[in-house]
Structure 1
């Protein structure tokens, strides 16, 4: 049997790799191993539990406030030791994290083929998002199997002279995970009832604005501006905000200082994936700087304001379900107010089609690996 090792370390990676792991486990031809680096710890463990993933290797590399170079060095060494022990036939990575960069580099040093899930995303700026854009580009150089979520991402790779036979258009695995989770919630009324109780503090008569924000390039003045925009939105509209706050001190400090006392702004701990999907379904609009949320929300018919100046996921912008607003206080407030008060504009965004897939991406990835890896 051919041995495949899937390596990831953050919550978004775990969500998006879970359907692939589920599919590869079904194969009679593949011996699957899972390595987590725990680049994120607690919020990674939530997803592992939800999707019943037990890692074969857990590097547990998260440290408070470690620098990117410290993390990269520890990842490169730790992942390298795992690869030397397992001697896999294929190294499977996802997306654009420091774990992705380091794992693909460690595989390259050992002349091992890399499969890159969610390959080909590009923003066009090495510094936005930072450091993810550089991570993607370097990972591409080390990759043999490029699993692209959209035709545009495929074209990005072709423009960089990647061999067309090495590129496989699959759709995005996050849609697989979302569809599975929504179906699980619908099939479990007791779980939905428990989630209703968990968020019992919400006022059913008020529209819900769901907010997430954590990106490194928004640290400092960006988060100050974002927080002041949230205050303006609840001051100018009869709405409520729920904000699951990332534990990074660069996020936590300004958010708690500026938003912690407002009665209609609810700051909560990071959520498991299932309750987060529940909140996405319940929300009226979503304001985020997350990449994954840009992909998930269109499947739920939720307009998204993205607090970034560029995006490596332009398909949703083109489809009309996402608007880039940056961290400008005035722009965030203006676009949020328009969605909250202009029904026709809201309807156009809510009805836009999701360009990111049909929920079958993991099956397509498995087929390629079984046939070609």
Structure 2
């Protein structure tokens, strides 16, 4: 399924806010800032005006690189010394489609549990929806017991400081996530990524070799994909996609458009008739 690009074009049809926002926001946008050429081509294929689509990179690269510049100021390894020597997987599960489905959440959880029992070092960052799923599916007591009995398992609420996240990710072996922005950040940092979804709206990161898709339907498959990606040297060498100084480029583009007129145009102006 994942190797057939025809399936990538359809995107997610599930009724969750991320998909609604994606589909509605582009229709009400006057200036499109595409992160990569692939996305510019998608927008052209959907009929948006070529003179209002600009390939600028992704501003997450600016934030990530800024945080990397101050990683030495982070105190995260004082709080979690077991992570200091790296060689761990970071799990982050928070999307509605995963956390509202017992089958999907259970597959991800079981893969994570198996890695813990195998002695692999695991960091679980628990967000609001993660906690809700653990409670709803009767796993909260078990995950607490795992954290108590296994020194190789760190179960933590979300960290307040972005610099701490990046400092830890700089030493991680693989990131297993259903987050969109984490896929981008891992590309910037050269960290193997496993996306715990049926597809990705960052398909360019999968196509360039640094991000593997692990559909959340089978715990054993998820575990094997994570083990394959674990400190995978070829995945670490995947080309960087999202550029530098992207925020400046975004502002320059907007100012360029505004210098010629309004962001939104009537059809006569757009068609030059």
Matches within 5 A, 1:41-190: 124-128=10-14, 130-185=16-71, 189=72
Whether contact under 8 Å (1:147, 1:168) holds in the other structure is yes
**Residue 185 of structure 2 is aligned to residue 296 of structure 1:** yes
**Structure 2 spans left out of the alignment, 5+ residues:** 1-7, 259-273
The aligned residue for residue 283 of structure 1 is 172
1:332 deviation in Å? Answer: 0.8
Residue of structure 2 equivalent to 1:199: 80
TM-score by length of 2: 0.81
Per the alignment, do residues 126 and 150 of structure 1 end up closer, same or farther by CA in structure 2, a change over 3 Å counting?
same
Counting only pairs closer than 5 Å after superposition, residues 281-360 of structure 1 correspond to structure 2 as 281-327=170-216, 328-340=218-230, 346-355=232-241, 357-360=242-245
Please list the CA deviations of residues 242-291 of structure 1 after superposition, one character each: whole Å capped at 9, or x if unmatched.
11101234334256344222212211111121111111111111111111
- Indicate if the aligned counterparts of 1:285 and 1:302 stay in contact, CA closer than 8 A: yes
Give the direction of change, closer, same or farther, for the CA distance of 1:198–1:312 in structure 2 (3 Å limit).
same
Say whether the 8 Å CA contact 2:192–2:211 is kept in structure 1: yes
Give 1:123 deviation, angstroms.
5.9
Aligned-residue offset at 1:197: 0.5
Is the CA contact 1:123–1:310 (under 8 Å) kept in the aligned structure 2? no
- CA distance in 1 between counterparts of 2:15 and 2:93 reads 13
- Between the aligned partners of 1:129 and 1:152, the Cα distance in structure 2 is 25
Q: CA RMSD in A?
A: 2.0
Distance in 1 of aligned mates of 2:202 and 2:127: 22
Distance (whole Å) between structure 2 residues aligned to residue 257 and residue 315 of structure 1: 39
Do the aligned partners of 2:12 and 2:199 also contact (CA within 8 Å) in 1? Answer: no
Residue-by-residue CA offset, 1:331-350 (whole Å, 9 max, x unaligned): 1111122334xx7xx11111
The size of the alignment, in residue pairs, is 240
Find 2:94's aligned residue among 199, 206, 214. Answer: 214
The 5 A counterparts of 1:243-254 are 243-248=124-129, 249-253=131-135, 254=137
CA shift, 1:165, in A, is 0.7
Q: 1:339 and 1:353 mapped to 2: Cα distance?
A: 16
Say whether the 8 Å CA contact 2:77–2:83 is kept in structure 1: no
- 1:233 matched to 2:115? The reply is yes
Alpha-carbon distance in structure 1 between the residues aligned to 2:9 and 2:144 = 33
Q: What is the alpha-carbon distance in structure 1 between the residues aligned to residue 19 and residue 127 of structure 2?
A: 21
Contact 1:321/1:352 (8 A) holds in 2: yes
SS in 2 for 1:282: coil
User: Is the counterpart of residue 274 in structure 1 residue 153 in structure 2?
Assistant: no
Aligned counterparts of 2:166 and 2:12: Cα–Cα separation in 1: 31
Unaligned runs of 5+ in 1: 1-121
State the shift of 1:168 in Å: 1.2
2:143 paired residue among 259, 262, 270: 259
Cα-to-partner distance string for 1:143-182 (whole Å, 9 max, x where unaligned): 1011111111111111111001111111000011001110
